[in-house]
Structure 1
């Protein structure tokens, strides 16, 4: 959430930032709403002050045997007591209206984010490795998986409907190996603390990470009004909600391997074959909590941690800086890591790493105490995929396809595979 004080002080910069996001200017309407709220707050405070003063004056008047003045003052206090609740109700209503309006505004893009409308305006920052050079035909992951007999989409559809996959045998083992490898890499080499968080959360948690109120249709809700997590970003980031941390405690770095649940609203007809876009998938998430000065450097560090996973797997990828029109709602700046998929003959996102500034910290009321002046400031938050396990499986299967239809297992995964060196056709 953005700071209304900053908007009041920087209306032109705020509207310019919204324009970069492709949104209409809103500074004037927000400031007008805030003026109304502030006027009501001042009115209520003046009424409370006058009530307190009049109550003291009643005591003085009675002590002076001035019954007429005392009665007049009592009538004034009674009138204030009658009017004050209405003013307080107006204050609560206007505060809620302002907070709701602020909660629906996207984050301010960083100055170095390229301007643009959509993914076509993203800018390549770097790339690693080269595309595999083969003599045999490249295949898509679902063609490979079904031919091997370890990937079942029809069976999943009978059980759960579209956008689900059943992995069996050696491919199920490979998917598990990928997740464990990623967790070990991030905890042992990159300094993240492993967490096993809840998979269902309350309204406050998804509000804190900005999925609510704007993106409720993208989520699944339980019958008891909890939300299935769309990503472990939600519970991991909320680990610091409503706390005041010491600056010396920062940065905090968390990682988790969890199922993720997404309705995929608005994606009808996109990636309907295979397991690229699923209602349920596993992902290793990275979350960092930092002070204001460290978040930019932490963003680079987090992105490098995700890239390192792909380097260890021997996969070719490129890292893109997203333009203003393609960034997520809560992000100040985002890097997308896109892995090469030979079967599709294209790059596809496998990780997205974002720095959010104090956007989420403000929504969660998560703060830290500055060690220099002991003032409290909102924490900065970052999140990234480290990486999407299902998409990593797709990338490994497509990039390590052998001419005979088997899949060679990358060396770094062999310790997790129980002696298997290849994924071969089911007997």
Structure 2
């Protein structure tokens, strides 16, 4: 029989015509489906050549594979910078494994191309036109490869175990460790918030890796109801008070570990608020605050919503907080439902009366560094300046061009790959090591 595209179907018909038993037919069907799956996962010739050229640093050769339209959007130099940025974030490129055909339109096709880097499996969405040129490519999905030296750890709290990842430097028996606290919402231990951020951030994991390379261990963990700690399903447990207790529990646990010379704490966004509370309850020598608000959550939300909704809606925010404080059922405008909903009422209520700047002022005997990006729209740099004013002994660092995601942002990007701020990494590591 001559092999053709229809060979599996012809072979299936032949087997059925020979009265194979149903059991053998099922085995055959599984085999054929496996063959078809392998066929669908083969490497696409155009994508294969493109990623091979990029991995070999043949920028001009890779550029020739882009369509004329794509070439108007990106230069050879920008393509080189783009690929180098990817390497900075995900580690050195290792291999290009396969393509999955998502859609075929005439002679054009849309692919999901999987590449393996040192720390991540990165899927790119690649559009190949009828001229066999790449019309566009973009980041599709990122799946982390566990960091070398990452160790699963846990502490026991009311209701079960809370799991975290301990990142350790290699070849160092005794070193300092920093507890990394994530921001608000469904933000996990790596800094991803898939419900709120379409891109994969991984900021905390990158920080952990960078710190480990500089001889500093770190512990990061998923909040209750997130990631490895999904077993905590009650929204009423997701409150600032409980987050404070969890951080304090981790601090006590780390202090009891003889491998660590010192224990510090670092928080991002709401994690910074928790870091302040935890340091007051369980003193540490050093606190790192990243994009941390100085004002109450109520005031911050008013400022965040003001540019986007009508003034009449903004005025309901203080009313909602008062209703929650009085244990009343709040009336929430539809435009605020993303933040003010039944699943978040307990969390919002727990923030009532909490002014981070006032609490920070009590950390007079603690070394504190306050770091903020100049283009952070969630927690503007004015918030960092207010924190610094409340504790003049603290160190203030405003990083030009850094966003709330702790990355250097650019208005013109062919693909959503933005490097973690290098000044952030150097400032944090220098502060913790001095």
Q: Same fold (TM over 0.5)?
A: no
Give TM-score, length-normalised by structure 1. Answer: 0.26
Larger Rg: 1
| Structure-2-length-normalised TM-score | 0.25
Structure having the larger proportion of residues in helix: 1
- Of the two structures, which has the highest relative contact order with CA contacts closer than 8 Å and spacing of 6 or more? 1
